[in-house]
Copies of this chain bind each other. A is one copy, B any other.
Amino acid sequence: MPSPKPDLHAILDLDRTIHEPARLAILTVLAAAEEVEFLFLQRITGLSKGNLSSHTQKLETAGFLETLKAFRGRIPVTSFRITGEGRAALQAYHRQLRALLPKEGKP
């Protein structure tokens, strides 16, 4: 009987910053794309601007992404990059999820 039930601590210790679906979606995109613009992120996630703005600020405060402000012509453009810390946290979160999932092919 190696691992009969998923470890409850693995569940209760999940990183809440990443566990929020909106932020997990954001980090997932950033992890795949390296640098992503605000509007692109808004469109593929379907989040409202306000919601996206506050979630990216929260992820920035956590150190998981950095915000890059620039201009395209005269129009402001905000982009995001995942940080090393953010990538590490996302991978750790993935490991936590795997740990709590029952083995594949269980009824």
Q: Residues on A close to B: CB < 8 A?
A: 4-6, 8, 11-12, 14, 16, 19, 21-22, 24-25, 28-29, 32, 44-46, 94, 97-98, 100-102, 104
Tally of this chain's copies = 2
Q: Which of B12, B24, B29, B45 contacts A45 (CB 8 A)?
A: B12
Chain B residues with CB under 8 Å of A94's CB are 101-102
Chain B residues with CB under 8 Å of A46's CB are 8, 12
CB-defined A-B contacts under 8 Å, sample of 17: A5-B32, A6-B28, A8-B25, A8-B28, A8-B29, A8-B44, A8-B46, A12-B21, A12-B22, A12-B45, A16-B21, A19-B21, A24-B100, A94-B101, A94-B102, A97-B101, A98-B101
